[in-house]
Structure 1
C-alpha cells in the first residue's frame, strides 16, 4: 500500500508553517495508538521525521530536537491490529477507495502492523517539540504550538487524560 496522508489532512497549515511542507510519515516512531468508540476514532501519536530547519525560537533556545503530533482518523471500520510491540517505527500510508470519501490506512514497520478503513478527513493535533531522552524517550518537557495546549501541558499528560487523547 502506498500513498501519503498529506492530501487527507484537514489542517496541514501547522506542519507547513514549521517545515515549509508536510513531512512524509515514513520511518516515524509510533508512540501510542488510542482507540475511541465515539466516532469511532483511531489516534496515532507519532514523532515526525526530522526537525525543522528553522524551528520556532523558543524551541531552539530550549534545545528541542524532535517534533511530535497526533493524527486522528474518524469513522474507522474495520480495524485490524496484527502487531503492537513498542518501540515501533513505521510508514504511515493512506490510499483512497470507493466513492464515499473513504480510505485504507496502513501503519506497518518494526513493532507495529495496524490497518483500517476510515473517512478521508485526518486531523493533526497537539503539535509539540521535545528533547529526546536516553533510548529516544519522550517523557521530558514538551513545548506545544497550540496556546491552549501550552497552557494546560508542560509534558505529555497521562493516557487517561481525555482532553488530550480524545478531543
Structure 2
C-alpha cells in the first residue's frame, strides 16, 4: 500500500472530500511549482495529477476538467538543500511525517533535487483545470 502522505498535512479535509480515503499517490503527481520564501522560512509546492477525484465537483465535470492541482505550504523550514535541477525531479516527490511533528520532504533522486524539513504542512489550495483536450 502506498505511503499516505496526507497524514503529514495539518488538514487534508479538502483532498479527503474529493478523493475519499484514496488520495492520489505522489508517484502519480507531477511537481509544477516550487516557491522558496527565505523571509518566512517556508517552501510552497504545487503538484498536479490526472488522477481525478472520486467525488468530482459539478463545476469540474461541466467544464471537462482532466487535472487536479493542489498546493502545500511548508512552514518553519530548515535544512533546505538544493543540489542541481532537471526534469527528473518532477515525478520524484516524497512527503513524510505526521501532523504536529516534523515533516520531511525530498524532491528528485540520485543527488539531483531538493530536500528540507518543516514544522508544518498545510494544504492551501485545490483546483481543477483542463490540461489537455481529449481527441
TM-score (norm 2): 0.80
> Aligned residue pairs: how many?
129
CA distance in structure 1 between the partners assigned to 2:7 and 2:65 by the alignment: 28
Shift of 1:24: 2.4
CA distance in structure 2 between the partners assigned to 1:18 and 1:126 by the alignment: 13
Higher relative contact order (CA 8 A, sep 6+): 2
SS at match of 1:129: strand
Match of 1:11 in 2: 11
- Do the aligned partners of 1:69 and 1:124 also contact (CA within 8 Å) in 2? yes
In the TM superposition, 1:108-147 aligns within 5 A as 108=108, 113-119=113-119, 121-133=120-132
Alignment CA distance shift 1:69-1:35 (3 Å) = same
In the TM superposition, 1:4-153 aligns within 5 A as 4-21=4-21, 22-48=23-49, 50-86=51-87, 88-96=89-97, 101-108=101-108, 113-119=113-119, 121-133=120-132
Shift of 1:130: 0.6
User: Aligned Cα RMSD in Å?
Assistant: 2.7
- Do the aligned partners of 2:105 and 2:116 also contact (CA within 8 Å) in 1? yes
Can you give the 5+ residue segments of structure 2 that lack an aligned partner in the other structure?
none
- Do the aligned partners of 1:4 and 1:93 also contact (CA within 8 Å) in 2? no
Q: How big is each residue's C-alpha offset from its partner over 1:95-136, in whole Å with a ceiling of 9 and x where there is no partner?
A: 44xxx9323211225xx62111111x21111211011138xx
Q: How big is each residue's C-alpha offset from its partner over 1:40-88, in whole Å with a ceiling of 9 and x where there is no partner?
A: 0010011035011331111101010010011111111111122333485
SS at match of 2:15: helix
SS at match of 1:38: coil
Match of 1:155 in 2: none
Query: Which moved further from structure 2: 85-94 or 5-14?
Result: 85-94
Shift of 1:18: 0.6
After the TM superposition, which parts of structure 1 deviate over 3 Å for at least 4 consecutive aligned residues? Answer: none
